[in-house]
Amino acid sequence: MKYKISAITHVGNYRHINEDAILIGKTLINGVSINDPILFELEGKHIVAVADGMGGHTAGHIASEIVLYYLRENFYEKGMEEIDSLIHYVKKALDENIILHPERKGMGTTLSFVIFGEDTVKIGHVGDSRIYVIDDTIKLLTKDFTEAWSLYEEGKIGYDEIRRYPLRSMLTSALIGDGEDYTPEFLSEELKANRGSYLLLCTDGLWENFKDEEILNIVKNRDIKESASILLENALERGGYDNISFIIVNLT
């Protein structure tokens, strides 16, 4: 399988540090703010991912970097493709880091990633970043591990209310460096890869600013570089209160 990719990670309008990190194949990007989309073309088995270091926690930007670094190492160097194993080992990497740096205890991050196979894709997800699939429609493949999503599942708030609900950032599951031996609750799925469709991986700094239909209209009607530029421009114009990171993948 071949795929074209456009990616952005941006600090936003108000944050001083970009706590997000992105992974495209073997390329890990963190600690920077990018205004123009970065383009990639990949073929075969690869992995892409976004991670959102938890704001307000110790060393969130370090947590997102560590998780993507070890995700890359376990996938490419060790050949690990099982979602539960990957999530277990990146959690373990956070725990091992706080042994060396006790002041970082409690650092955490979300993680959403896609593994591309020959004609299927696997997704792994924990936290409140998101993965969408886009063709003639848009479908959210993940759930938010948040208090707000729990209220949505209980029918107490609507889907579009999640984006502005006060509890939307209160996570119920994430990757935390706390020294405890457990694997956090996560979501995994394997699905058929449809050529011509798009996958969008994004942190909440992007999706909170758009209704799903807006994302659909931007992505399906333009090439991936223009789509990325428009998404970033609109996210900044609509506040840019958080870091903004996303990856658009066009399956060709």
Q: How many domains does the chain have?
A: 1
Please report, as a single letter, which amino acid is at residue 59. A
Structural domain boundaries enclosing 188? 2-251
Helix 83-100 crosses helix 60-72 at what angle (to 10 degrees)?
Answer: 130
- Tens of pLDDT, residue by residue over 159-177, are 999 999 988 889 999 999 9
- Tens of pLDDT, residue by residue over 49-74, are 999 999 656 699 999 999 999 999 99
Please report, as a single letter, which amino acid is at residue 64. S
Give the pTM. Answer: 0.97
Please report, as a single letter, which amino acid is at residue 74. N
- What angle (nearest 5°) sits at the alpha carbon of residue 202, between those of residues 198 and 205? 140
Q: Which two tokens stand for residue 3?
A: 């795929």
- Point out the least confidently predicted range of 92-101, 161-170, 243-252: 161-170
CATH number at residue 146: 3.60.40.10
Q: Which residue has the tokens 């399988």?
A: 1
